[in-house]
Copies of this chain bind each other. A is one copy, B any other.
Amino acid sequence: MSRYDVLCIGNAIVDIIARCDDAFIDDNNIIKGAMNLIDADRAELLYARMGPAIEASGGSAGNTAAGIASFGGRSAYFGKVAEDQLGKIYSHDIRAQGVHFATPPLAGPPPTARSMIFVTPDGERSMNTYLGACVELGPEDIEQDVVADAKVTYFEGYLWDPPRAKDAIRQCAEIAHAHGREMSMTLSDPFCVDRYRDEFLDLMRSGTIDIVFSNADEVKSLYQTDDFEAATAQLGRDCKLAAVTRSEHGSVVVRGEERVEVQAIHVDEVVDTTGAGDLYAAGFLHGYAKDQPLDVCGKLGSLAAGLVIQQIGPRPLLSLKDAAHEAGLA
């Protein structure tokens, strides 16, 4: 037994979400579809140009933790907010979803992180992230008993952007593996892969990471190839288990020589793709922690991802437990 199915670790970010047209993305030199890291000055500038917005708790691994809890799973979260209004909102939302969250907030500046997310008419999201208090996440924030008592510890590749979070992750991997647990990561973003390619490959090949989540762009960036099949096969060799998402074409799960193809669910209209990958990981890991076969894990991932892209915001507004039940997956 374990207290937690999945512990998620990531940058704790409040999303500020507005619609815009494609010209806005071009005019402001935003890389469309990507996570653009920005500093405080650029955050001010972009916010001044942004239309009326709504706010919602986000952060990639935070969304995954919330998704697992929405499925009825037991999840925990490590992430750094500041002691400010956005930090209180973030802490409220993740705890109210039933996620264990006890990382001490940062007393002083910088403030809680925010990402300005511009959603274009095609539903694609382009993120502009000011990391704020996230830069202070470090090994001192590790709750060792939680790591030891979680079946899987999952983190986002984005954690390689702040300076000391990677040290925390390496400590977690030692604790987790010493307790017979597994480590998992998402590659997060093709540009993030480009920044940390060698380190990510080393995490896999050294056995620090067991399970990897990726989308098609990320796995191709990882191996610097346009050949999706070759890249996915290589990913399967570089870690114990990998799930690679392909938007409306579903996902491919590889474990050694085993390969499972999973379909995407039918989507009426893509409203906002924010959180798609995070919720795929939530569904997959929820099933995985419950010892479901890989195809069911993948279907749970498809379900959660397909639902979250039909709404605004990165965390499902409805119960994923109910949705899984209706879909015959629980």
Contact = CB atoms under 8 A, between A and B. Distances in A.
Contacts of A97: 51-52
B55 A89 contact: yes
Interface in A46-101: 47, 50-57, 66, 84-86, 89, 92-94, 96-97
A317 interface: yes
B50 A96 contact: yes
Q: Count this chain's copies in the assembly.
A: 2
Contacts of A85: 84-86, 111
A55 B56 CA distance: 6
Interface string A20-55: 000000000000000000000000000100111111
A53 to B, nearest CB: 6
A44 to B, nearest CB: 10
Most B CB contacts (10 A, CB to CB) among A51, A52, A86, A94 go to A52
B111 A52 contact: no
Nearest to A48: B92
A221 to B, nearest CB: 32
Contact of A315 (B52, B66, B317): B52
A157 interface: no
A53 B84 contact: no
A54 B52 contact: no
Q: Is the interface of A mostly helix, strand, loop or mixed?
A: mixed
A9 B251 CA distance: 52
A317 B19 CA distance: 8
A96 B54 contact: no
A131 B153 CA distance: 42
Most B CB contacts (10 A, CB to CB) among A56, A85, A93, A312 go to A85
A283 interface: no
A287 interface: no
B47 A52 contact: no
Contacts of A96: 18, 50-53
A277 interface: no
Most B CB contacts (10 A, CB to CB) among A57, A96, A315 go to A96
Contact of A93 (B53, B92, B111, B313): B53
Given A16-B89, A53-B93, A54-B56, 14 more contacts: A18-B96, A19-B317, A51-B96, A52-B66, A52-B92, A52-B94, A52-B96, A52-B315, A53-B96, A54-B313, A55-B55, A55-B56, A55-B89, A85-B86
21 contacts: A16-B89, A18-B96, A50-B92, A50-B96, A51-B96, A51-B97, A52-B57, A52-B66, A52-B93, A52-B96, A52-B97, A52-B315, A53-B92, A54-B54, A54-B55, A54-B56, A54-B313, A55-B56, A84-B85, A85-B86, A312-B317
The 4 tightest CB contacts between A and B, nearest first, are: A55-B55, A85-B85, A52-B93, A54-B56
Interface of A: 16, 18-19, 47, 50-57, 66, 84-86, 89, 92-94, 96-97, 111, 312-313, 315, 317
